[in-house]
Chain A
């Protein structure tokens, strides 16, 4: 098994910790994404795995053996950089063959391997070209080829597609995914682009300020973010501040009251989180009242922004079956709600019972079944 384990990895630059107590288990053949905003320590982590930065604490194990003492040239890792990947004074063949020649492989073997690898990344005709004759996407594919030709145990990619245009980026993602499946190589991919992470990764490790926030499959990460940071960072999420009223058994935010059986202390500050696609719009008087402020047509769905008096601004995704116009009065329900409170794991409320309180604070019970 060519697994990768990071245990309690820490790196400080000056007094600030770029990466702190970071532990991660990457399984054999897995494609792991390190995802986070810029400056979260994801690249630092990747460079520590590659051997370009020495950690201040913790350990890096590949196949169960520590590689901390090894310089980058002796680690079984291969890195693809964001840009400036290919050596401009060498042809594509020489770029790929460089590492093989260092290993003193016979010329015939080098020739065969370079050919195979070029075939693998789909650029067999590029062998004799110079890097500057290739497009950005082709250059990155050659960079991947150069990394793979040495048959490393771990492939490291540092935002390799961030300099490509949007369309190409999507295509390269798919190609990389296919390639990674085909070769079955354990891969760590760094990105700040959540869409990239969600489409590529087997599992995603979300980092923030040098600390691991959550590591999970894309589905779980999207459906049950463990903390507010992940909830806010992955996808679009409506977040509403509120308090828990134990006597009423309800979470109250302004004029919104949600029946919520929970273990929170009375008066605890809570955050209600719900996805725009978990908000439904009803014609009748069921749900809480709101007014449509803006409608953006995104093709396969509408992004509707509504204002609910005493609750706030809420983003809603609808399929566009129901016509929406700005200024229109509607009623909304939530299908699903996550409740975050300090010191507890998030609670999930399925089909929550919503109540809209009038100004006097008197509950006006409305039908809340969806």
Chain B
């Protein structure tokens, strides 16, 4: 045992002598993290630079001139502004609707045994197991007949589809993870089943439900293909607008718009984190 470690130490003393230097070994994780951060944050940084670049030509490392002129271009474009409006209308509507439809279903999946339970649960994966574009085309033919094409509710419906998975599966797992004796204890001290749900089950499930809502919102907010097929030309949301901007405008416009697209996700994430911290970390939850 000691002979082996001695031999190892000797080897380490050779070509890879620095391996035995503690500082080097300790700095490895830091270097690795820095590399990872550069990989993730690098493109973001370049995006931000592009959004504020007035003039930026090769081979300069930084833009020659910073300006907000591309922001004016973006906000001066009426169709861009209306796309922001539509996005902020549809995504919250979709999230709310999705919650209204899915949460009771998720509770049922978690708490009750009924025939076809597994099949139904799996069926919510089906929308995600086909090529989206094909699915949307066939839905579009259906929507034509139902007069849902180029309508607000048509867009809502098509975006709703992508959120079902999150709103069913995550809350089902959350509800299932809540021990029944917590609910039974509430019944025992005099709470009706409805009160038990709203004062015990729902608050305890809240972190999971918030996460599901967050995912659903982002899924709806980022949905482009279906919205393009069903909504255009009346309802152009931000991701759909993105295609137009990237194809028809200089690069900085795309960068500006990308940042705008990130804002809601970022705000929601920070908000969720704050909510979870305040209410639930204190109650013994970690997320």
Binding site for B on A (CB under 8 A): 50-52, 71-74, 77-79, 81-85, 87-90, 98-99, 102-103, 130-132, 143, 146-147, 150
Q: Is the CB of A150 within 8 A of B181?
A: no
Q: Is the CB of B187 within 8 A of A131?
A: no
Q: Is the CB of A131 within 8 A of B284?
A: yes
Cβ-closest 3 pairs across A and B: A132-B284, A99-B189, A84-B179
Q: How far apart sit A52 and B181, CA to CA, in the bound complex (Å)?
A: 10
Which of these, A73, A77, A82, A130, contacts B181 with CB under 8 Å?
Answer: A82
Number of interface residues of B (CB under 8 A): 24
- Given A102-B195, A132-B283, are A50 and B188 neighbors across the interface (CB < 8 Å)? yes
Q: Is the CB of B204 within 8 A of A72?
A: no
Q: Is the CB of A88 within 8 A of B192?
A: no
Interface string of B168-194 (1 = CB under 8 A from A): 000000000001011011111111100
Q: Is the CB of B283 within 8 A of A73?
A: no
Which of these, A77, A83, A90, contacts B188 with CB under 8 Å?
Answer: A77
Q: How far apart sit A90 and B185, CA to CA, in the bound complex (Å)?
A: 13
Q: Is the CB of A81 within 8 A of B279?
A: no
Q: How far apart sit A102 and B179, CA to CA, in the bound complex (Å)?
A: 22
Q: How far apart sit A83 and B182, CA to CA, in the bound complex (Å)?
A: 9
Q: Is the CB of A73 within 8 A of B179?
A: no
**Interface membership of B18, Cβ < 8 A:** no
Q: Chain B's nearest CB lies how many Å from the CB of A140?
A: 12
Q: Is the CB of A89 within 8 A of B203?
A: yes
Binding site for A on B (CB under 8 A): 179, 181-182, 184-192, 195, 199-200, 203-204, 206, 279-280, 282-285
Q: Is the CB of B204 within 8 A of A89?
A: yes
Q: Is the CB of B200 within 8 A of A87?
A: yes
Q: Is the CB of B284 within 8 A of A88?
A: yes
Q: How far apart sit A87 and B188, CA to CA, in the bound complex (Å)?
A: 13
Which of these, A84, A88, A89, A98, contacts B189 with CB under 8 Å?
Answer: A98
Note all chain B residues with C-beta closer than 8 A to A85.
Answer: 181-182, 185
Q: How far apart sit A354 and B187, CA to CA, in the bound complex (Å)?
A: 60
Q: Is the CB of A72 within 8 A of B181?
A: no
Q: Is the CB of A98 within 8 A of B285?
A: no
Highest count of chain A CB atoms <10 Å: which of B190, B203, B285: B190
- Given A73-B192, A130-B284, are A87 and B181 neighbors across the interface (CB < 8 Å)? no
Which of these, A50, A51, A87, A102, contacts B182 with CB under 8 Å?
Answer: A87
Q: Is the CB of B188 within 8 A of A79?
A: yes
Note all chain B residues with C-beta closer than 8 A to A74.
Answer: 190
Q: How far apart sit A77 and B188, CA to CA, in the bound complex (Å)?
A: 7
Q: Is the CB of A84 within 8 A of B192?
A: no
Note all chain B residues with C-beta closer than 8 A to A73.
Answer: 187-192
Note all chain B residues with C-beta closer than 8 A to A83.
Answer: 179, 181
Q: Chain A's nearest CB lies how many Å from the CB of B200?
A: 6
Note all chain B residues with C-beta closer than 8 A to A81.
Answer: 181, 184-185
Contacts beyond the supplied A51-B187, A81-B185, A89-B283: 12 A-B pairs with Cβ under 8 Å: A72-B184, A74-B190, A78-B188, A79-B188, A84-B182, A87-B185, A88-B285, A98-B191, A99-B190, A99-B191, A102-B195, A147-B189
Can you give 17 contacting A-B residue pairs, CB < 8 Å?
A52-B184, A52-B187, A73-B188, A73-B189, A73-B190, A73-B192, A83-B179, A83-B181, A84-B182, A85-B182, A85-B185, A98-B191, A98-B199, A99-B191, A103-B190, A130-B284, A147-B189
Note all chain B residues with C-beta closer than 8 A to A146.
Answer: 185, 189
Q: How far apart sit A117 and B63, CA to CA, in the bound complex (Å)?
A: 70
Q: Chain A's nearest CB lies how many Å from the CB of B226?
A: 38
Q: Chain B's nearest CB lies how many Å from the CB of A70?
A: 11
Note all chain B residues with C-beta closer than 8 A to A103.
Answer: 190
Q: How far apart sit A83 and B180, CA to CA, in the bound complex (Å)?
A: 11
- Smallest CB gap from A103: residue in B: B190
- Given A87-B200, A88-B284, A130-B282, are A72 and B187 neighbors across the interface (CB < 8 Å)? yes
Note all chain B residues with C-beta closer than 8 A to A143.
Answer: 185
Q: How far apart sit A367 and B200, CA to CA, in the bound complex (Å)?
A: 72
Note all chain B residues with C-beta closer than 8 A to A99.
Answer: 189-191
Q: How far apart sit A143 and B283, CA to CA, in the bound complex (Å)?
A: 17
Note all chain A residues with C-beta closer than 8 A to B179.
Answer: 83-84
Note all chain A residues with C-beta closer than 8 A to B284.
Answer: 88, 130-132
Q: Chain A's nearest CB lies how many Å from the CB of B76?
A: 48
- Smallest CB gap from B285: residue in A: A88
Q: How far apart sit A90 and B195, CA to CA, in the bound complex (Å)?
A: 15
Q: Chain B's nearest CB lies how many Å from the CB of A8?
A: 25
Q: Chain A's nearest CB lies how many Å from the CB of B192?
A: 6
Q: How far apart sit A51 and B186, CA to CA, in the bound complex (Å)?
A: 13
- Smallest CB gap from A72: residue in B: B187
